[in-house]
Chains A and B, each alone.
Chain A
């Protein structure tokens, strides 16, 4: 399985990368970690005439930690995120998700941005980006566009990115507060496999133990990762008791449109969504 022939360039800056994209458009693909792209090229399912290597552009590697927002460069490796104590403290949900992403070897190369742009419906990082309502910074030769992650994913492997754009950074809101809990759960056939379904939640409780802020979502069981803000709203103002969590989990399962495939029928995915939502809600409110 050898890739179809392509030309290779390694721009030194984001600007150069965007210029290359502007020049080659749909005939070009960006490569950073390549963990998703290279297999597709090997199978000739992707056959860009131009491969633009952005894996080492310094401006894509930056991590900026603010009071309320963390900005992680799209080219930051999953391994780097995993090992950052600063990020662990501020983005616990992202850390929890990373444990499920592929295998250590793929995390050594794969990037935060690469996973998002590849947009596999079962991927963990896109789900977290949606659930945390992250903002994606997209840049092309004309300038920068901010797009909420929740608007970015259109269909399996299809996003709103244009052929001329490069994802340069992802801005995650930080939940500052004393009682913030989060959890990420996934069911896959084997360890490290694509999720048949996944769920995650981040919950902030007030002093009285009632839900002050909540976000949750389901992945792998729908064509795109699904943040479920209307379902999360059901938690607001209430103490997270068993009955409520059960109700919210059922609502999450009802809110998605799963599809069946070789590995799992739709009905099963829907049930997994319910079970996993229940589990993450319990863990996040413990």
Chain B
């Protein structure tokens, strides 16, 4: 048996303290230990991006981290991008406006990646949007309405 690791991870502004098995990925930790099932697992080898979360504000693939590595870090999941009462944020609202999703499975990771882009680059070009989202695969939408959502969110922020 492997020795559990004590960690303290802040998730969506709430601190969690406990022991976890070392091989628990951050994705599985969020989903199973914390019940935050908004973060999805698509490939478990770091390609599809469905598992994307913000780690200390930067988008990373949570399937490519062990929860132990996130000790002391701050994680934001898709649930953390909504307001406390569950109202979607402006970017999420833009996704609804342009219908930037269908099955919804890649969507949390996609929103996280788009959110991170807009934090760093509030007025991205279409090329920059596509590049920033190139690590998040979607099989439903063909990306067109997703790009439109990010453009809409950026325009709204500006206006």
Contact = CB atoms under 8 A, between A and B. Distances in A.
The answer on direct contact between A and B (beta carbons under 8 Å) is yes
Interface of A: 1-8, 10, 31, 34-35, 38-39, 41-43, 51, 53, 55, 79, 102-106, 108-109, 191-192
B132 to A, nearest CB: 6
A56 to B, nearest CB: 9
Interface of B: 1-3, 5, 21-23, 25, 28, 44-46, 49, 52, 55, 58-61, 63-66, 68-69, 71, 113, 116, 131-132, 134-135
- Chain B CB count within 10 A is highest, among A5, A7, A34, A104, for A104
7 A-B pairs with least C-beta separation: A103-B135, A8-B22, A39-B45, A1-B44, A3-B23, A108-B58, A38-B64
A104 B69 contact: no
Given A34-B65, A34-B66, A5 B2 contact: yes
Nearest to A1: B44
A31 B69 CA distance: 9
Given A5-B2, A31-B69, A103-B135, A38 B59 contact: no
Interface of B is mostly: mixed
A6 B60 contact: no
B45 A2 contact: no
Contacts of B134: 103, 191-192
B59 to A, nearest CB: 5
B3 A7 contact: yes
A43 B46 CA distance: 12
A81 to B, nearest CB: 15
- Chain A CB count within 10 A is highest, among B44, B55, B63, for B44
Nearest to B47: A39
Contact of A51 (B55, B61, B66): B66
A103 B2 CA distance: 33
B82 to A, nearest CB: 21
B50 to A, nearest CB: 12
A6 B64 contact: no
Nearest to A51: B22
A105 B68 CA distance: 19
26 contacts: A2-B23, A5-B21, A7-B3, A7-B22, A8-B2, A8-B5, A8-B22, A8-B66, A10-B71, A34-B64, A35-B64, A38-B46, A39-B64, A42-B63, A53-B69, A79-B58, A102-B135, A104-B59, A105-B52, A106-B46, A106-B135, A108-B55, A108-B59, A109-B60, A109-B61, A191-B131
Nearest to A34: B64
